[in-house]
Structure 1
Amino acid sequence: MSSPASWNFEIESPVAAPRLFRAALLDWHNLAPKFAPEIVVSATVIEGNGGVGSVRQFNFSSAMPFTYTKERLDYVDHDKYESKQTLIEGGGIGVKLESASSHIKFERASNGGCVCKVVATYKLLPGAAIDDEIAKAKDSITKIIKTAEAISSPTQMLMCNVSKIAAAAAAAAAASTILFEVCGHCYSKISWN
């Protein structure tokens, strides 16, 4: 049995801590399949209500080296914007890792944004090495944060809403066109006075 090892990682964000905490951590299982479908095929809470003790499963596309992960939410502090989670299945558990957990905290920054601090702790299986995987994990965290930033920024939310409004308007216009074509003979007989 190996002794525990760890790595640290920080990433700065222009998005406020509460918004990024919610998007990148608390709601990520709902958002990832919608905003990163090329990586996360599906995700769901499989045990619990999404709070402490809950287990989430993420199912991945062939872009990832493993097909799924299951993580248990061990701790959440909504006021300090931090959480701790443990990888309980998939994602290298039983292949290279005996165990793995992470502590993630979003600290407010003076510019209105935040700093995301990650501490990952793990135990390797005998003979296993994960140097390449650590670099990939840091890259994945960066991509999650950047995606969550885009989702969380007011400008992006406005763009999403504009897109939805445009789609609804297009659908309404198409429906009106169809209605006019079906009832066109009646339309010409309507008195507009």
Structure 2
Amino acid sequence: MLENQPPHKKRRLTRTGTSLHIYCYPEDDHRTDAAANKMAANGPAMAASLGSEPMDTDIVDEVLPTVKVPSVATAAYGDYIESLPINVLFQARIQASPAVRTMYPQALIGESIRLWYPDYKCFNGVLHDGIVPRLGVHRDAVNSLRIVARKGGELVWEGSFACFENQWEEALGELRKNGVGRRVEGGLGSADSVRLLVGLYCPASD
């Protein structure tokens, strides 16, 4: 015998949250230009409703900077090459003498240090980040510099100059003119080796 039961209430299903509208178009769908323009216009609004933000193109440009290299057929290409760091591995050491050894006992005399110029990029880098701390001398003690460049055992260029930035840049220009360090590709393995002799101020040697 069946028992009498109260009628069941129908449950009403309600939707909560954000509704997501997905538009799917088959490959052979032929939309009108007006419909396509409407979808393109509603794109940013739909993205905002979903909590996403459009990509900032300025940020992309900062992360991936554009390097413009002039054509090799133009005069600007020569200027571009000249603006690149010269690819030279300087073998820097102090010019030794008995007077220098006596006056600068803490300096690294008779030993060479390697200074790859693209790592230092400028005269102040070579002097203040390379020669002074690594050779153990004070800036005021550095009196002169002498560059001796050889290729295949033959002397290519040699020059001595006072320890000033403008004379240093002129010396690098002479190296470029003689084909020393003009190639910047290949890293340390393709760098030209050049001797950089550091002269220290020493009145007793006069």
TM-score range, shorter chain: under 0.3
State the TM-score, normalized to the length of structure 2: 0.25
Larger Rg belongs to: 2
State the TM-score, normalized to the length of structure 1: 0.26
Q: Which structure carries more strand by proportion?
A: 1
